[in-house]
């Protein structure tokens, strides 16, 4: 499945913004390992998820300009 240009741009922005940094201090996940390492329950606030969502919000704000 091919991403729309906006989603592809958002994905690239998030990857650049977060890079290989640890995005979750609890499970030590990076963006690339997040889906395999995250141990948070669905009802828990996960720092990794928050990092990804914050980067998406930054993208949206820059895209509006």
Instruction: Compute the distance between CA of residue 27 and CA of residue 48 in angstroms, rounded to an integer.
Output: 9
List, for residues 3-45, the tens digit of each pLDDT value.
899 999 999 999 999 999 999 999 999 999 998 988 888 888 8
* pLDDT at residue 12 in the model: 96
Which tens digit of pLDDT belongs to each residue from 44-62? 889 999 999 999 999 999 9
8-state DSSP, 55: H
Give the global pTM: 0.87
């Amino acid at each position: 499945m091919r991403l729309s240009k906006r989603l592809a741009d958002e994905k690239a922005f998030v990857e650049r913004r977060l890079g290989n940094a640890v995005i979750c201090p609890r499970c030590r996940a990076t963006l690339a390992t997040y889906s395999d390492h995250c141990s948070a329950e669905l009802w828990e606030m996960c720092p990794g998820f928050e990092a990804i969502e914050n980067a998406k919000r930054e993208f949206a704000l820059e895209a509006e300009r």
